[in-house]
Structure 1
Amino acid sequence: MVSNHLLLEEPLRMASILEPSKPAISGCLQAGISVARFDFSWGDAGFHQESLENLRVAIKSTKKLCALMLDTVGPELHVVNKTEHPISLEENSTVILTPDQDKEATPNLLPINFTGLSEAVKTGDTIFIGQYLFTGSETTSVWLEVKEVKGKDVVCLIKNSATLAGSLYTLHVSQICIELPTLTDKDKGVISTWGVRNTIDFLSLSYTTRCAEDIKLAREFLSTLGDLNQTLDLCKGRQCGGDDSL
């Protein structure tokens, strides 16, 4: 950690790198980044610790300042594909989104990690499913239109052909607020262990942050963690229900 007081006097400069090696990080520091973001939607604590140790070596060799940002998973909806086998979805076919995670993911059935989707959507709503770090234009991303709700299941029309390959796919519903906590138990565990151990400078809340109360709760949690009491919150907020309190 490097003092964030200096960093607050200048713009935050961040970059995404796929290979967090010492040379790659050193190059980013030389190019001017001032904040390193550790995204816990991807990778475990061991992976991020290794990346952080590489960052520390790079900071020492380049003599450049860099703050640490922990990015939480938050209330993200995921497609649960335990087998990780590719799933081919065909345009104009139907697929059912189900909260029954014991079922296997198939081209006709996609288990998800949220039991309340059927209560949150209505006919005509748009649902987007994309692989982590998606751009929305690949053949690994799919748009769905809600056709009907059957109990806890949501029946959707597939709007474009795509292949879902891998285990981590996120699900986004247009104009719908998902009633899940901004900081999940997993988030709190990561912050109170990895975050405290490495004295993070910034906590990045999920894009689904809904209102000022979410930020208040996050700050209250940080205040219980001693050294993280001065950690700054950043949020990728999406307002819902006309709440302009962010």
Structure 2
Amino acid sequence: MNSNHLLLEEPIRMASILEPSKPTFFPAMTKIVGTLGSKSQSVNVICSCLNAGMSVARFDFSWGDADFHQETLENLKMAVKSTKKLCAVMLDTVGPELQVVNKTQHPITLQADSSLVLTPDQSKEATSNSLPINFSGLSKAVKKGDTVFIGQYLFTGNETTSVWLEVISTWGVRNNIDFLSLSHTRHAEDIRQARQFLSKWGELSQTQIFAKIENFEGLNHFDEILREADGVIISRGNLGVDLPPEKRKFLIMIFTSRRL
């Protein structure tokens, strides 16, 4: 062959493009949301998740700092490039939840009939006798005889504990997230306020808002929340804590049979 001739690959058969799809092919209608955490942060594990069908990666900001989640996101991008699988990004907000601050991450054992101090001093170490919390106004929110429940998180149910901040930079804007999971949604107004906030950022104007129902108040306003949100997430664990035992089974039956 003349060295001046170009070597061309075999041309694409037009017939193969025009052929209809096989009748056995069905697009995946169910989307799988996978939470990426400390045990699923590596590129290899994320690749396995994508190959197994994960189509939305959830970043839970109730724990871990922005640097940790940024590293996870970069690994997700590499995994997407490697597997050639598309994956949306969901940012799960912290929400107005009160937490016990345990910086050591070691389990704590509480003794029955013993005294326990709840302190707003987050510099103190969490022990079986003293638990630092992220709410400085607890002493004013309770009185002698009140009951404080400590579950996975520390709750008061007091709306006055909300804090309004002026946001100058957010992780979600920087990374152009696809979905926003609005933790502890109580009213439709929560969705409207979140949407108004997102509209101020051009990068997030198309971000969809998922309402996360985690308490009895959100459950009471479920219908109005459903009309405002792009989707609804039911937090079974937190709802199970907030609801009396006799209503938990009934709740599961409702959301199993009801089409949203």
Q: TM-score, normalised by structure 2?
A: 0.62
Q: 1:214 maps to what in 2?
A: 190
Cα distance change on mapping 1:115 and 1:178 into 2, 3 Å: farther
Aligned CA RMSD, in angstroms, stands at 3.0
Once residues 240 and 67 of structure 1 are traced to their aligned partners in structure 2, the CA distance between those partners, rounded to angstroms, is 30
Letter in 2 for 1:228: L
Once residues 103 and 59 of structure 1 are traced to their aligned partners in structure 2, the CA distance between those partners, rounded to angstroms, is 42
Aligned ranges 1:231-246 → 2 under 5 Å: 231-237=207-213, 238-240=215-217, 242-244=220-222, 245-246=224-225
Q: 2:76 maps to what in 1?
A: 55
Q: Report the count of equivalent residues.
A: 192
The equivalent position to 1:171 in structure 2, one of 144, 151, 154, is 154
> 2:42 aligned with 1:66, yes or no?
no
Q: Which has the higher contact order (CA 8 A, sep 6+)?
A: 1
Letter in 2 for 1:49: Q
SS at match of 2:170: helix
Q: 1:128 maps to what in 2?
A: 150
The equivalent position to 2:31 in structure 1, one of 2, 12, 19, is 12
SS at match of 2:116: strand
Once residues 29 and 82 of structure 1 are traced to their aligned partners in structure 2, the CA distance between those partners, rounded to angstroms, is 32
SS at match of 2:113: coil
Contact (CA 8 Å) 1:120, 1:178: kept in 2 or not?
A: no
Q: CA shift at 1:126, angstroms?
A: 5.3
SS at match of 1:36: strand
Q: Percent identity over the alignment? A: 56
Cα distance change on mapping 1:80 and 1:47 into 2, 3 Å: closer
> 2:53 aligned with 1:32, yes or no?
yes
The equivalent position to 1:223 in structure 2, one of 196, 199, 202, is 199
The equivalent position to 1:202 in structure 2, one of 171, 179, 183, is 179
Once residues 48 and 102 of structure 1 are traced to their aligned partners in structure 2, the CA distance between those partners, rounded to angstroms, is 24
Once residues 107 and 73 of structure 2 are traced to their aligned partners in structure 1, the CA distance between those partners, rounded to angstroms, is 32
Once residues 216 and 129 of structure 1 are traced to their aligned partners in structure 2, the CA distance between those partners, rounded to angstroms, is 30
Contact (CA 8 Å) 2:62, 2:93: kept in 1 or not?
A: yes
> 2:62 aligned with 1:41, yes or no?
yes
Q: Which has the larger radius of gyration?
A: 2
Contact (CA 8 Å) 2:33, 2:55: kept in 1 or not?
A: yes
Contact (CA 8 Å) 1:209, 1:239: kept in 2 or not?
A: no
Cα distance change on mapping 1:65 and 1:83 into 2, 3 Å: closer
Cα distance change on mapping 1:240 and 1:121 into 2, 3 Å: farther
Q: TM-score, normalised by structure 1?
A: 0.66
Cα distance change on mapping 1:112 and 1:228 into 2, 3 Å: same
SS at match of 1:216: helix
Structure with greater helix share of residues: 2
SS at match of 1:34: strand
Stretches of structure 1 that go unaligned for 5 or more consecutive residues are 1-8, 131-169
